[in-house]
């Protein structure tokens, strides 16, 4: 059986609740960023509220550029689930793990994962951006994802 091209990368491989906090936040913020201006504003506000205006702005800029480069120079479009979906798709899992690995400083593995997402010539740039964004997520002191208001799994920042 062959999987249609449109579905490649969208297959559910796990649940948001099973991810560590940085990986889950990366997946959820990716969904929100790609969902449109309203949810992009929520991402920006969340980062600024938790990290402060200056550090939050830098994190948003790194994340915005990371998303733009992935869209512009991606090997193919990243498949995403709905913002409130409890499942994690294969592409989302790759992206989230990539950000977490880059933030941990494992440059070799991050470079390898980057080449799954983008052309090899832009991989070093996305590794740098992912590390910057992932470190910001680490500074947010996120907890593991949990159910909030019966509506979705979200990483929770402790202010």
Domain map (residue ranges) of the chain: 14-144
pLDDT at residue 157 above 70?
no
Residues 148 and 140 sit within 8 Å (Cβ to Cβ): no
Residue with tokens 């070799």: 108
CA distance 117 to 122: 10
Phi, psi at 48, each rounded to 5°: -65, -40
pLDDT at residue 124 above 70?
yes
Q: What is the pLDDT of residue 156?
A: 45
Residue with tokens 């740098």: 128
pLDDT tens digit sequence for 6-39: 677 899 999 999 999 999 999 999 999 999 999 9
pTM, full prediction = 0.86
Residues 21 and 103 sit within 8 Å (Cβ to Cβ): no
Q: What is the pLDDT of residue 66?
A: 98
From the list 2, 35, 19, the residue with the least C-alpha distance to 137 is: 19
pLDDT tens digit sequence for 27-76: 999 999 999 999 999 999 999 999 999 999 999 999 999 999 999 999 99
């Amino acid at each position: 059986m062959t999987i249609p091209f449109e579905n490649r990368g969208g297959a559910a491989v796990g649940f948001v609740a099973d991810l560590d906090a940085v990986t889950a936040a990366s997946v959820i913020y990716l969904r929100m960023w790609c969902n449109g201006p309203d949810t992009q504003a929520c991402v920006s506000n969340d980062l600024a509220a938790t990290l402060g205006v200056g550090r939050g702005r830098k994190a948003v800029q790194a994340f915005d550029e990371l998303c733009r480069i992935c869209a512009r120079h991606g090997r193919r479009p990243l498949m995403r689930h709905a913002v409130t979906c409890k499942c994690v798709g294969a592409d989302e899992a790759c992206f989230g793990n990539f950000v977490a690995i880059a933030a941990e400083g494992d440059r070799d593995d991050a470079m390898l994962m980057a080449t799954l997402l983008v052309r090899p010539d832009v991989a070093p740039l996305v590794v740098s951006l992912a590390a910057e964004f992932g470190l910001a997520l680490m500074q947010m002191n996120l907890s593991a994802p949990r159910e909030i208001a019966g509506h979705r799994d979200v990483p929770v920042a402790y202010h």
